[in-house]
Amino acid sequence: MKTIWKLILGTILLISACKSKDGDYTLFSTSEDLALGEKVAGQIENDPINFPILSENDNKELYQHLNRISGKILQSSKILHREEFAWQLKVIDNDTLYNAFCTPGGYIYVYSGLIKFVQSEDELAGILAHEIAHGDLRHSTDQMTKTYGIKVLTNLILGGESELLTNMGINLLGLKFSRSDEEEADEFAVKYLSDTDYNPRSFAVFFERMEQAGGSMGPLQFLSTHPNPENRVQKIEAFWKEYGSKSGKDHSENFEKLQRSLK
């Protein structure tokens, strides 16, 4: 009996020691998130068949624009792990996919198809802010733990399970966030954008167009891997009002340059 109570007490202490900055409980530290994300990012970038990443050297102007946008977002005081995570951004060269994702530790990937789908820099900023929120709130680690289990992820962090790691980059696209995670990422995206010169309400406009497009444009994976919370557009607009109703500046000139730079 004493042994059982010791185990229970030990578990409680372990969980208490792993409370994250956003108030959730996790069995992984931020350094372990970063280590896992680095491994997965390495696998993604060594798989040009499934993930044809545009070279930064050959697309300097494109990456300058994207890093300028993400850099503004990452200056928000609401970012919890700004100094702890990598916050690297890469573009996957595939115009037929409309998606983006963030690995643990802040490695962000955006498909060229999604960049071409957006109609303003503010919409694109909303997508990047949303992915940053998933990484910052550590949603991806939570979903990967549910999918693969604590033991497997621990082995990956420690250097084992290389065969699984080989497939994990591809399988990331199949991981679905919960609707509560999505709503939280939407809210924090609005919080981040409210600290910038972007209009957070444009993120709601993006989802309106995405929903209207339905299946007419091909596979809109963003909506399958980022399932819609109930009344998503209305909730984003409510968050926008709650956090100041910022209107933002005109970024149309820079957005035109960004679109032209996407070869």
Q: How confident is the model at residue 4 (pLDDT cuts 50, 70, 90)?
A: very low
Question: Given this model, what pLDDT does residue 161 score?
Answer: 63
Average pLDDT over every residue of 193-216: 85
Higher pLDDT, 128 or 230: 128
Catalytic status, residue 184: no
Per the residue annotation, which of 121, 131, 182, 237 is the catalytic one? Answer: 131
Q: Is the pLDDT of residue 213 over 90?
A: no
Could you read off the pLDDT of 18-70 as tens digits, one per residue?
555 555 546 678 888 888 888 889 888 888 998 999 999 999 999 999 999 99
Question: Given this model, what pLDDT does residue 211 score?
Answer: 77
Could you read off the pLDDT of 92-109 as tens digits, one per residue?
999 988 889 998 899 999
Highest-confidence range of 32-36, 166-170, 231-235, by mean pLDDT? 231-235
Question: Given this model, what pLDDT does residue 202 score?
Answer: 93
State the pTM of this model: 0.84
What does the H/E/C string look like for the chain?
CHHHHHHHHHHHHHHHHCECCCCCECCCCHHHHHHHHHHHHHHHHCCCCCCCECCCCCCHHHHHHHHHHHHHHCCCCCCCCCCCCCCEEEEECCCCCCCEEEECCCEEEEEHHHHHHCCCHHHHHHHHHHHHHHHHCCHHHHHHHHHHCHHHHHHHHHCCCHHHHHHHHHHHHHCCCCHHHHHHHHHHHHHHHCCCCCCCCHHHHHHHHHHHHCCCCCCCHHHHHCCCCCCHHHHHHHHHHHCCCCCCCCCHHHHHHHHHHCC
Q: Is the pLDDT of residue 200 over 80?
A: yes
